[in-house]
């Protein structure tokens, strides 16, 4: 991971809307901000840069009508080397873990959908604000796969276990009201108010002592993240093996073909 060439793309737009606050905006709206390898690597690099700066809060958003629809599946259709899947999951897990363990506070502002890797990205953030019509899900089971970016251990720690298992095993979606009631998100607001509300929250966080925020994150990591290392590794190994099976590529190809046919008919 550390030896890879830093990505040079506009897949993540960076701005500083307030003093002490950086905004990372996923910038692939035509693909509902799906996470390809390049996007993940750019998030990883930007997170590292933010850690070395005086930033106190990072706000993660998505351009267009979705926060993030999950992994970019197109890269998996023609993948023949089984290590492709393990490599992708490794990059995804290291990126999300870097956000979760960063010394700054992270906030996800969720509109539209946060599915699969998109939900895993949001769960890696410290706080979450959600539009009232948005939806959360890990629909990988519908493609013969499982969520490989940390959703299983993180959902089991966030939700009642029975509900977390239902989401993973059936692809069940959570509405904004359900997400708020179960403590997955901190606030639910109207679509029109989402950006302003998330920015207000980021500003409130950034107004506090840098030393206090850094130590709070250190304690959060000690209590939560350190215990996740072994489960996350187990998930990566098992799910990479599942994704390397021929049936997975067939499922992905059929899904992408069906989606393209649906778009063409509209």
Catalytic residues: 120, 140
Q: What is the DSSP letter of 30?
A: G
Whole-number Å distance between alpha carbons of 32 and 26: 9
Whole-number Å distance between alpha carbons of 132 and 197: 13
The alpha helices in the chain, defined as continuous H runs, are 37-51, 74-77, 83-101, 117-124, 151-158, 161-170, 176-181, 194-206, 210-220, 229-243, 246-265
Whole-number Å distance between alpha carbons of 176 and 179: 5
Distance of CA 202 to the CA centre of its chain: 18
Whole-number Å distance between alpha carbons of 96 and 196: 25
């Amino acid at each position: 991971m550390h030896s890879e060439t830093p990505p040079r793309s506009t897949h993540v737009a960076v701005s500083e809307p307030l003093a002490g606050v950086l905004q990372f905006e996923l910038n692939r709206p035509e693909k509902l901000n799906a996470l390809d390898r390049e996007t993940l690597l750019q998030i990883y690099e930007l997170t590292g840069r933010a850690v070395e700066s005086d930033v106190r809060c990072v706000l993660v958003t998505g351009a267009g009508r979705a926060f993030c629809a999950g992994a970019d599946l197109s890269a998996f259709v023609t993948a023949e080397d089984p290590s492709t899947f393990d490599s992708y999951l490794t990059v995804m897990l290291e990126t999300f873990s870097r956000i979760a363990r960063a010394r700054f506070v992270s906030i996800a502002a969720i509109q539209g959908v946060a599915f699969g890797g998109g939900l895993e990205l949001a769960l890696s953030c410290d706080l979450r604000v959600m539009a009232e019509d948005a939806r959360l899900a890990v629909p990988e089971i519908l493609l013969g796969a499982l969520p490989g970016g940390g959703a299983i251990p993180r959902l089991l720690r966030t939700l009642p276990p029975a509900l977390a298992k239902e989401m993973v095993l059936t692809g069940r979606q959570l509405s904004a009201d359900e997400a708020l009631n179960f403590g997955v998100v901190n606030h639910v607001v109207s679509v029109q108010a989402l950006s302003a509300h998330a920015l207000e929250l980021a500003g409130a966080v950034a107004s506090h002592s840098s030393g206090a925020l850094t130590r709070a994150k250190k304690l959060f990591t000690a209590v939560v993240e350190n215990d996740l290392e072994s489960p996350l590794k187990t998930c990566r190994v098992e799910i990479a093996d599942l994704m390397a099976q021929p049936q997975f590529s067939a499922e992905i190809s059929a899904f992408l073909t069906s989606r393209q046919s649906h778009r063409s008919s509209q």
